[in-house]
């Protein structure tokens, strides 16, 4: 009697909130990735980091997911040298651009990851270690069938809450109204957080978030931007 071998079920594929876009590196970006990354880059390892050791000091620590070309992250770090900044991005030209500027401006209070932010948060960032987490203009995945790819989901909100100190802040911004409404619904339902808007809606752009060139162009074209600010209970 012939039996059919049992198939081993494949593990479920994790839905990613990003697509790796390699793009073309300039010579300056390529050089920065070779020479500056060893100083300010952090390689992914599935073990918790000691943030005080990472920066060589104890200071308020802000983490930004998806910093793009890093211009606004750099502005914040230069303006607040007393704070530590962690940036996570998967787009190598953007990382190279930021590393170039870190070297040129001699900014010392930034550390950079090139890896999936969910992995970094889960496996490398200690619980209750961050004073602020920033998520500015994430991919809106505007088609309905792609909404499952949006990074802001209930599980993600709980993960952020786990990494923030009590009283820590979660600041989000988007220029897609539908995504803004989605963020608002998810975060308002996440019990570890409370909305710092008195009406439980959006807030004016906080001074801590620099106004980007992209955003300025959007304002001129009449595009809206929605900021959300939550505090960890």
Number of domain units in the chain: 1
* Domain boundaries, position 114: 27-232
Q: What is the pTM of this model?
A: 0.88
pLDDT confidence of residue 89: 97
- pLDDT tens column, 173-224: 999 999 999 999 999 999 999 999 999 999 999 999 998 777 887 777 778 9
SS (H, E, C) 94-158: HHHHHHHHHHHHCCCCEEEECCCHHHHHHHCCCCCCEEEEEEECCCCCCCHHHHHHCCCCHHHHH
What are the residue ranges in the chain where pLDDT is below 70? 1-22, 146
CATH code (residue 37): 3.40.50.150
In whole angstroms, give the CA distance from residue 180 to residue 202.
9
Q: Is residue 15 part of a domain?
A: no
Q: Is residue 33 part of a domain?
A: yes
In whole angstroms, give the CA distance from residue 60 to residue 73.
15
pLDDT confidence of residue 144: 77
78 is written with which tokens?
Answer: 């230069």
Q: Is residue 5 part of a domain?
A: no
181: left (phi over 0), alpha (psi -120 to 50) or beta: alpha
Strands 84-88 and 61-65: parallel
Q: Is residue 18 part of a domain?
A: no
In whole angstroms, give the CA distance from residue 143 to residue 131.
33
What is the 8-class DSSP label of residue 197?
S
pLDDT confidence of residue 139: 92
Q: Which of 162, 131, 140, 146 is nearest to 226 (CA)?
A: 140
pLDDT confidence of residue 9: 47
Q: Indicate which residues carry an active-site annotation.
A: 139
């Amino acid at each position: 009697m012939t039996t059919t071998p049992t198939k081993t079920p494949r593990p479920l594929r994790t839905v990613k909130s990003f697509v790796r876009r390699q793009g073309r590196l300039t010579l300056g970006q390529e050089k920065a990735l070779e020479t500056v990354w060893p100083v300010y880059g952090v390689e992914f390892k599935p073990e918790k980091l000691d943030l005080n050791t990472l920066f060589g000091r104890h200071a308020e620590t802000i983490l930004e997911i998806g910093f793009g070309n890093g211009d606004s992250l750099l502005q914040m770090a230069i303006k607040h040298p007393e704070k530590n900044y962690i940036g996570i991005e998967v787009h190598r030209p953007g990382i190279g651009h930021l590393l170039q500027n870190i070297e040129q401006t001699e900014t010392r209070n930034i550390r950079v990851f090139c890896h999936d932010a969910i992995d970094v948060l889960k496996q490398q960032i200690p619980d209750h270690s961050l004073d602020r987490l920033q998520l500015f203009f994430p991919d809106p995945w505007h088609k309905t069938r792609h909404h499952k790819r949006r990074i802001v989901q209930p599980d993600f909100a709980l993960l952020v809450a786990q990494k923030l100190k009590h009283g820590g802040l979660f600041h989000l911004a988007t220029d897609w109204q539908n995504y803004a409404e989605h963020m608002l619904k998810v975060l308002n339902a996440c019990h570890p957080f409370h909305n710092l808007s008195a009406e439980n809606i959006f807030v004016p752009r906080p001074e801590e978030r620099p106004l980007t060139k992209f955003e300025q162009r959007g304002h001129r074209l009449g595009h809206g931007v929605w900021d959300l600010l939550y505090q960890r209970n």
